[in-house]
Amino acid sequence: MPTHMPLDLRPDQPSDQPTTRSEVVPVVSAKLPAVVPPNHQRARRRKFRRWLFVAALLAAAAGGFGTWWLRLAPTLPPGIAWGNGRLESDEIDIDTKFAGRIAKLFVDEGDMVAAGQVLAMMDTQDLEASLRKAEALVSQAERTLEAARANVDQQKAQVVFAKQELERMRFLVPKGFAPKELLDQRQQQVDGGLAALAAATETMKGAEHALDAATHDVELYQVNIADNTLVAPRLGRIQYRVANVGEVLPAGGKVFTMLDAAYVYMDIYLPTLQAGRVKAGTDARIVLDAYPDLVIPAKVVFLADQAQFTPKTVETKDERDKLMFRVRVRIDPERLAAHASSVRSGLPGESYVRLDPTVAWPPKLQGAAPQ
């Protein structure tokens, strides 16, 4: 009988046939320990090192952001609040009062304009024709009034003559030198002359009113023609040109948008504890990113009475502390008038508000804009 030899699993047992990694080693006994292939161990180690590297990068980024934020936030004494904002200026739309066609444009985007400067002219040929007609009616009304006044003068003269005749009759009739019928006739002449004078006077008043109406029509057309000449209401800079020469616009059609150089401000947002101490007229400073060494004095002109963004109905102090109120800081108009050409809208910067008037401004905020 054949003898069954036990299977030798020792790794140092020589073998007649060379083995490769692709060969599968049969599992003879379930009691043998499981063997993890070397490739899986190396993959786990690489994955662990990758996660460790990402965690280190995140930690470094967090530390760098914290350092940047600490350096960015200005160091201020207690009693001075600050906020980020953008320099803004009031926009004024230059619109047409009447429907019409643009005849001329005298400025373009970016031009600095003075108050009262002519910016554009609309076509007013129809209004000018109506004006000439109204002026002709004024001339006609003046002639009618002159005729009415002459008629009044004539009636007054007739009344004076009739009264004189009546006085003569009153002297002659009692003495028997004239019949009583002549006295009655002279009285009727006086009464008729007074009635004619009253009618002529009313006609003259009507002619005067007609002349006034015609004159007002002339003034109205003159005003309408003047309103078709678009002028700058304030000192400022043309920001946008919306229409061009030859375009027909409706009443209220926009031609230009200009920035008011006399109303320049920055809106910032302060939390509840700081906003509650701000009042209108509070001293402030503006520093622009483009001119970090230029400190512009300003004043608080507006404080919102409602929070600009509220998490929800405030019931606790923590929630109340999250409320932010809009505060407007405006530059002095007289200071702006001297530097109107340098006004730029949209420049970012920071505004500083002195909550406590007894606190002195730090040295870096004590400078002033050049006069």
Residue 21 domain-assigned?
Answer: no
Per-residue pLDDT of the chain in tens (371 residues, 90 and over written 9): 444 444 343 444 444 444 444 444 444 444 444 554 556 666 666 776 777 777 777 766 665 555 444 444 457 778 899 899 999 988 999 999 999 999 999 999 989 999 999 999 999 999 999 999 999 999 999 999 999 999 999 989 988 888 888 888 888 878 777 788 888 888 888 889 899 989 999 999 999 999 999 999 999 999 999 999 999 999 999 999 999 999 999 999 999 999 988 889 999 999 888 888 888 889 999 998 888 888 888 999 998 888 776 555 444 555 555 688 899 999 988 877 777 667 778 889 999 999 888 888 888 887 654 44
Q: What are phi and psi of 231, to 5 degrees?
A: -120, 160
d(CA 150, CA 231): 46
Q: Per the domain annotation, does 174 fall within a domain?
A: yes
Angstrom CA distances, 303 to 83, 85, 135, 281, 330, stand at 14, 15, 54, 10, 12
Q: Give the residue among 167, 148, 146, 145 at the shortest CA–CA distance from 156.
A: 148
- pLDDT at site 313: 47
Cα(202)–Cα(194) distance, integer angstroms = 12
Q: Quick one: 132 and 221 in the same domain?
A: yes
Q: How far apart are the first and last CA of the chain?
A: 123
* Residues 288 and 354 placed together within one structural domain of the fold: yes
CATH assignment of the domain containing 145: 1.20.120
In a domain, 370, yes or no: no
Would you state the structure tokens that stand for residue 34, as one six-digit string?
């499981």
CB 252 within 8 A of CB 227: no
Whole-angstrom distance, CA of residue 65 vs CA of residue 80: 25
pLDDT at 63: 58
Q: Report pLDDT for 294.
A: 85
* CATH code at position 328: 2.40.30.170
> Tokens 């800079």 correspond to what residue?
237
Which residue among 181, 211, 227 closes a domain? 227
Phi, psi of 326 (to 5 degrees): -80, 130
HEC secondary structure over the chain: CCCCCCCCCCCCCCCCCCCCCCCCCCCCCCCCCCCCCHHHHHHHHHHHHHHHHHHHHHHHHHHHHHHHHHHHCCCCCCCEEEEEEEEEEEEEEEECCCCEEEEEECCCCCCEECCCCEEEEECCHHHHHHHHHHHHHHHHHHHHHHHHHHHHHHHHHHHHHHHHHHHHHHHHCCCCCCCHHHHHHHHHHHHHHHHHHHHHHHHHHHHHHHHHHHHHHHHHHHHHHHHCEEECCCCEEEEEECCCCCCEECCCCEEEEEEEEEEEEEEEEEEHHHHCCCCCCCEEEEEECCEEEEEEEEEEEEECCCCCECCCCCCCHHHHHCCEEEEEEEECHHHHHHCHHHCCCCCEEEEEEECCCCCCCCHHHCCCCCC
Residue at 95 is within a domain: no
Does residue 111 lie in a domain region?
Answer: no
Domain containing 294: what range?
73-90+262-365
Tell which residue, 158, 144, 242, 238, has the closest CA to residue 196.
158
2 is a domain residue: no
Residues 349, 268 share a domain = yes
Residue 325 covered by a domain:
yes
Residue 316 lies in a domain: yes
Rounded Cα gap, residues 72 and 82, in angstroms: 12
**One domain, residues 306 and 359:** yes
Between the CA atoms of 14, 20, 24 and 27, what dihedral angle is there, to the nearest 10 degrees? Answer: 20
Instruction: Give the phi and the psi of residue 193 in degrees, each rounded to 5.
Output: -65, -40
Query: Which of 184-219 are b and which e, b meaning 16 or more Cβ less than 10 Å from the residue's Cβ?
Result: eebbebbeebbebbeebbebbeebeebbeebbebbe
Number of compact structural domains in the chain: 2
